[in-house]
Amino acid sequence: MTAEFESLAELLLVILTVLCILQLFLVGLILWYVKRMKNSLGSAGAAVLPPPAQPAAAAAPGPGAMEEGAKRPAPSPPARVTRTTTVATATPSGDVLGDSTDIQGSILRLCEKYGLSDFIIATMDGLLVVSLSPGASEEAARCSDLYRRRKKPDTPGVTFLEIDHHGETMLGITRADRPLTPDQARGIGEDARKILDWWL
């Protein structure tokens, strides 16, 4: 009886030891995963934060420079121009697909990336494919008609772009508060093609 009790106690001790080792292993695994997630979030945050920090350092050089700036107020606008240029150069590196849940989410990302107030994709027949604005069907039909007749946009800030999707040409209609550079227009066309290829 005593021998059975001792062997049962030894068995329970072995089981408890194994359970403790497993528990320590799981805790170590969880801590490693949390540390890895923290590092990846930290590196993503570091990649996003530096562009705004550079203009801030340039904008506040020191007390002596501030007094000199007070005597000559002209240097203030160039600081704003530098900040705008930095944001404009940093923005177009964003991914338009990302973790968007639908095609409108990707179009919203494209608008944010290039500073557009709206972006419409329509067929050459004037049928609306996608837009962020409600009631954009009429705009799509009107702009498609203008484009087919080789007319320029009749609204300031609107640009027409051709987008190739599986051998079919579609019309991209951008709306912005400033003219697009050729590089921006090319980038918008490429990103719009990626969005169409991904969602449609």
- Which residue, 173, 174, 163, 162, is CA-closest to 200? 163
Q: How far apart are CA 127 and CA 131, in angstroms?
A: 11
Write out the chain's pLDDT in tens, 200 residues. 677 777 888 888 889 898 889 888 888 878 877 777 777 665 544 444 444 444 444 444 444 444 444 444 444 444 443 333 333 333 345 778 777 788 888 989 889 889 898 899 999 988 889 988 887 888 889 999 999 988 888 888 898 999 988 888 899 999 898 888 889 999 998 999 988 888 87
Domains along the chain?
50-91 (no CATH), 95-199 (3.30.450.30)
Q: How far apart are CA 76 and CA 36, in angstroms?
A: 43
Is the pTM higher than 0.75? The answer reads no
The three-point CA angle 100-127-122 to 5° equals 50
